[in-house]
Amino acid sequence: MPKRILQGIVTSDANDQTVTVLVERRFTHPVLKKTVRKTKKYRAHDEKNAFKVGDQVRIQECAPKSKTKRWEVIA
């Protein structure tokens, strides 16, 4: 099964080797037929601490790295 890849913006880089990424998805509401924006935060593994707040990154699913990290930054 292929790994999911999501795109988002780094909102926090305070922890070592970890970034918090805000991912937004848009979809049409089934009843109202209106475009809805939903956001979700993911904690992703950043091996070299390369990314800072405001950077646009892509994250990919991976095996669990810690209690909260199930994603890793790929670019």
The position carrying tokens 């699913």 is: 61
* Model pTM score: 0.90
Question: Band of the pLDDT at 2, cuts 50, 70, 90?
Answer: confident
Predicted confidence at residue 11, as pLDDT, reads 98
Residues contacting residue 52 through CB under 8 Å, at least 6 positions apart: 10, 13
Q: Can you tell me the mean pLDDT for 39-53?
A: 97
pLDDT per residue as tens digits for the range 49-65: 999 999 999 999 999 99
Predicted confidence at residue 1, as pLDDT, reads 76
Predicted confidence at residue 32, as pLDDT, reads 97
Q: Which domains does the chain have, with CATH numbers?
A: 5-73 (2.40.50.140)
